[in-house]
Amino acid sequence: VELIERLRQRGWRLTAQRRVIAEALSGPSLHPTADEVLGWARLALPEISLATVYNTLNELVEMGELRELDGIGRLRRYDPNTVSAHHHLVCTGCDRILDVFPPADFSSTLPESEQHGFSDLQADVLFRGRCPSCRES
Ligand SMILES: [Zn+2]
Ligand SMILES: [Zn+2]
């Protein structure tokens, strides 16, 4: 279910500004930065400010509808796919991030002696490499 649809179902008040931000985040998971979200939102609402974008992004993160991706690439990015568990493949050349769904459940690969008594383990695996267009240049 896409972000905008989930927000509708939750009854989140969709002002014009919130709507264009949510719409910019819906669709294919491009893991945009706040600046990219601003750029897309401005196509529909030229007067929208970066502060509004940040406030809305932070609110969506607090609601659990958006995931902050820190430490992947050079800039903080946002991931609207909080629904299907996935890992990330990042290009070291251009910072492009793709969703990947490896067959292994990595949380079960940690031996019990390394789990330190923790329960409900979740693994967040980051694969790095060079994408086809960066490999050519
Ligand atoms: Zn690349
Ligand atoms: Zn993702």
pLDDT at residue 27, as a whole number: 67
CA angle in degrees (0–180, nearest 5) for 11-65-84 = 120
Per-residue CA distances from 38 to 22, 34, 95 (Å): 11, 6, 19
SS3 category, 71: coil
Q: Are 94 and 136 in contact (CB under 8 A)?
A: no
Q: Which residue has the higher pLDDT, 19 or 85?
A: 19
Give 108-117 pLDDT, tens digit per residue: 888 999 999 9
27 CA → ligand 2 middle, Å: 12
Distance of CA 47 from the midpoint of ligand 2 (Å): 29
Cα-Cα-Cα-Cα torsion 105, 114, 90, 37, nearest 10 degrees, comes to 90
- Give 107 Cα–ligand 1 centroid separation in angstroms: 28
- Are residues 25 and 12 in contact, defined by beta-carbon separation less than 8 angstroms? no
**Distance in Å, CA 45 to ligand 2 centroid:** 26
Instruction: Enumerate the β-bridge partners of residue 34.
Output: none
Whether the model clears a pTM of 0.95, i.e. scores above it, the answer is: no
